[in-house]
């Protein structure tokens, strides 16, 4: 069952939805950025080897959405709802796969039984086969309505 492509897709959708829930939770915390720059700056190519050509820069920033808590909570709730929907879709996909498997096994069983009956029928003498056919015809009710000519 796990090798079925539809089930694998549903599993991947759950994993992606749960990962998105984790990402939305990070919006509750401040973000810290550290930026750095190293380089050389000179008016001539020969000036690049001098110590004065060396340049560097280092900076940091902190970003925190202090007044967006309502929006962040709504994003988290939406991500949770999408994850729940992905789980429900997965369960539905698995149930459908089980139903299809059960139907296929039932059809296989019927085909095997029919194959066995046909094989047995080819091994029985013709007289016995004919008597079975006539017996099954007698057991089947026939409506006389279809056998009489119509007046209209």
Q: How far is CA 72 from CA 5, 20, 27, 30, 33, in A?
A: 35, 13, 7, 12, 20
Q: For residue 138, is pLDDT > 80?
A: no
- 22 domain-assigned: yes
State pLDDT tens for residues 90-131: 999 999 999 999 999 999 999 999 988 888 877 766 666 666
Which residue segment(s) compose the domain that 128 sits in? 109-138
- 132 domain-assigned: yes
Provide the pLDDT for residue 55: 86
Same domain, 25 and 35: no
Q: How far is CA 124 from CA 110, 119, 139, in A?
A: 21, 9, 21
Calpha distance 74→80 (Å, rounded): 10
- 88 domain-assigned: yes
| Nearest Cα residue to 7 out of 114, 107, 132, 92 | 92
- 144 domain-assigned: no
Same domain, 7 and 77: yes
- 147 domain-assigned: no
Same domain, 24 and 37: no
Please count the structural domains in the chain. 3
Same domain, 23 and 76: yes
The pTM score is 0.59
């Amino acid at each position: 069952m796990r090798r079925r492509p539809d089930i694998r897709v549903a599993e991947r959708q759950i994993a992606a939805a749960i990962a998105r829930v984790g990402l939305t939770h990070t919006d509750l915390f401040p973000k810290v950025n550290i930026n750095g720059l190293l380089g050389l700056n000179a008016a001539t190519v020969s000036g690049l080897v001098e110590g004065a050509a060396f340049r560097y820069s280092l900076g940091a920033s902190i970003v925190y959405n202090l007044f967006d808590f309502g929006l962040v909570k709504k994003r988290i709730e939406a991500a949770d709802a999408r994850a729940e929907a992905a789980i429900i879709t997965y369960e539905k996909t698995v149930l459908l796969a089980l139903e299809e498997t059960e139907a296929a096994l039932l059809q296989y069983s019927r085909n095997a039984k029919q194959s066995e009956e046909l094989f047995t029928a080819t091994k029985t003498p013709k007289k016995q086969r004919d008597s079975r056919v006539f017996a099954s015809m007698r057991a089947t009710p026939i409506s006389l309505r279809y056998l009489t000519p119509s007046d209209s």
